[in-house]
Every structure is written in structure tokens, then in C-alpha cells.
Amino acid sequence: MPKIDPERLLNDLRHLRSFGATGPGVVRLSLSAVDMDARRWLAGRMTEAGLDASIDGVGTVFGRSRNAGPALLIGSHTDTQPTGGWLDGALGVIYGLEIARALGECEETREFAVDVASWIDEEGTFSGFLGSRSFTGEPVDEAIRNARNRDGLLLADALGHAGLAATPRVLIDRARHKAYLEPHIEQGGRLEAHGKSIGVVTTIVGIRELRLRFTGQRNHAGTTPMSIRRDAGAALVAFIARMDEAFRQLADADTVWTVGRIELDPGSFSVVPGAAELHLQFRDASAERLRAMESALAGLVRDFNAREKVSVAIAGSEPPEEPVTMDAALQTHLAHAAQALAPGAWEPMPSGASHDAQVLAHHVPACMLFVPSIGGVSHDFIEDTADAHIVLGCQVAARAAAEILRSLRA
């Protein structure tokens, strides 16, 4: 079986961390100068590992094995949130690099093909999952023309500044790429709470995002009696309580919902709000449960409008993301590797966060492996994972990669 080099793995992770290091965390937004520096360094490390490496026309770093297929593609992302952690995404990319090296150094597996990718803009600085969507042939031209970052910079201009405007985009080779593996930190506290070292992902949850608008009557806060008020802010708060109760009746232990933003109009101490808006997101691994939650929400809106002096309407929604199930055979390979190297210290689990794997899974069998996040923290400067868990996770992924490729070649 191939053996990873723990020191080489950790040194590469720490060096990647230096690009955009900010205290214990990293600020490395897609297509920024420091992000491009990191991508050029990564392409160099891939080349040193014997891969044919390039940065494509949207910014994805792609390392192609010189071995003939079938190939296992391993990847994640190296861009970060505006206040990002050092392992989110980066762990999976460096795992891929180390696994490619480890398999190449092992007599049993040196002919196996491992391709490695660092997808651009998983975090959505311009357009979420841009790299994996481009790779799988999904339409991204409109996003390239029109998407902007929070400073107003057009994606097309950012690609021009990075010297990528005329560079070809890498595309999936369906005759070659037969499976996809994305290792990642958990970004939650489940593994740590259960005393486990490895998570084998079963499903990436579906997501619903909506805006609810409450319409009342703006009025003077000192002279308007409570009995006649049509207070949109108070109605919003009451609605959240009813929604919370309704969702709890439908939820299981992994169902989550969040009111991430509340806006009051006009937002003054001395004015009864005449309008209010909330931004709601809910996630679940079950498409049936997501539909039940949507139905319950619609029923609450109808009931609220029939009973209250303030009206509520669903004012807008983002396109739904449906749950994506990871390939069963690939899950089995991960589970066997985990049991061999961490007996009893792994568990199957859903991913509550979105990942490039959900894009790839529509085009090639895909799987994910998790390692614990200390304190369950991610998307923050203090995000961290113990070195022992990083090393164990990579060895489990390398063993699984060898078995996946062995089965594909058979």
C-alpha cells in the first residue's frame, strides 16, 4: 500500500498557508494577487511531483498524471472566505498532491493515474463553484461577463489582470476521469463530539434560500397605541417563533435553518416599522423533508395573512440546491480504508456545507472524506485541525485512492 510522507504533507500545507496569512488565518480571495501567487506555487509543486500542471482560463490549477487512465481526480479549492481558515479547501488540494506522489513512489501503484485540481472560486468571490462548473461543461460564460466581486470588479477584468483571458479552460475527460474524491475538514463539531477521526460523507445537503417581506403601517412610536399598531417588525419576530416550532416538528438531528438577516424600515427608534424583511436559509439531506419545510412555510404564510394585521409574502428566492448523494461504491472504499487505519474511529455522515463534489457528482461518481475541525469552527481565522488527524486523513484517503483505482483498472 502507498505511504504518505507526513512531513512533506504538513510542510506543503503550511507553505500554502503563508500566501495571504493573517494572524492564524488566511485571506486569499479568488484571483487576487496573493491567490495567483499561491496558484503559481501550487502548479510548480504539481510539476515537481511529475504532473503536467497548468492554470486554466478561469484560474483552476490542474495537474494531470502522465499515466494512462482510468484516472481518479482528487481536488478541492484554495481560495478562502474574506476571513478564512487555513485548511478549508486547501487540505483537500494538498492531500491530492501528496496522494499523487505517494502512489507514484509505491511499486504497486506507480502506474495508477491521479489527477489533482484546485478549483477556482468555490467560495463565491465572483461566482460560486466557477472552476468545477467550468470543468464539467456547465455554462459559465455569462458569469464571466457579468459577475462582480464585492468591490465591483468584473470577473472578466479580474481574469484579464491575472493574465488568463486568452487561456483555454480545462475540461473533464469522460474517457479518463472515472471517479472524484474530495477530502475536506468537517467544518462542524460532529466528529469531535463523537470522538471520531474520519467521516465518510453520505450526502451533501440541499439548500433553500428565501426572502420574506412583512408589510404593515409606518407610524409614530410615541403616539400610536399598541392596540392599533400594524408593526411589521413585531410581526416578523412572531412569525420566526411560529416557523421555528413548525420546522422543529419536521426536523431530524441534522436539519438546520437560519434567519441570517433582518431589515426594518425605516429602522428608527421613534418609528413603528412599516415594513420588515428576513432572509431565511434551511438545509437538509432529504429532498422530501425540504419539500415538507417549504410546504409548512407556505402554510404559515397563509395562516398569518388570514389572522394578522400585518401581511407577509415570500418576496424572492435563490435557485434551490437539491441534496446530492455520494457514490455508494466509493463510500465503501473510503469506509474500508477508514476501518483498516482507524478501526471504530470513523462514521458515515452528511455534509451540511456545499462543496465542489456536488457539482462533479452530476458528471462522475464522487465521494468525500472529512477530518475533524477543532471546536467545530470553520470560515474563521481560528479554524484548525490537529496534525495527527490531518496525517491520518491523508493516509486513509491514499489507501482508498489506491483501492478505487485498482477497482477501476480491473
Closest CA to 5 of 137, 98, 96: 98
- Which residue reads 435557485 in cell numbers? 319
C-beta atoms surrounding 33 within 10 Å: 12
The set of residues, in sequence order, having a beta carbon less than 8 Å from that of 153 and lying 6+ positions away, is none
- From residue 384, alpha-carbon distances to 25, 83, 183, 286, 333 in Å are 9, 14, 15, 29, 27
Q: Which of 88, 90, 65, 55 is nearest to 75 (CA)?
A: 90
Give the strand order in the sheet containing 256-265. Answer: 256-265, 275-284, 206-215, 311-317
379 marked among binding-site residues: yes
Tell me whether residue 184 is annotated as binding.
yes
Residue with cell 507526513: 6
In Å, how far from its chain's centre is CA 50? 29
Measured CA to CA in angstroms, residue 324 lies from 39, 181, 194, 202 at distances of 29, 14, 24, 9
Which residues, in sequence order, are bridge partners of residue 262?
Answer: 278
Q: At what angle do helices 90-104 and 6-17 cross, to 10 degrees?
A: 150
Asked if 355 contacts 182 with a C-beta cutoff of 8 angstroms, the reply is yes
Q: Do the annotations mark residue 77 as ligand-binding?
A: yes
Is 88 assigned a ligand-binding role in the annotation? yes
Residue that has been written with the C-alpha cell 458569469 in this structure:
143
Residues 277 and 294: their CA atoms lie apart, in Å, by 18
Environment class of 312 (CB within 10 Å of its CB; exposed 0-12, middle 13-18, buried 19+)? buried
- Please report, in range form, the residues annotated as the binding site: 77, 88, 123, 184, 379
- Please report, in range form, the residues annotated as the binding site for Zn(2+): 77, 88, 123, 184, 379
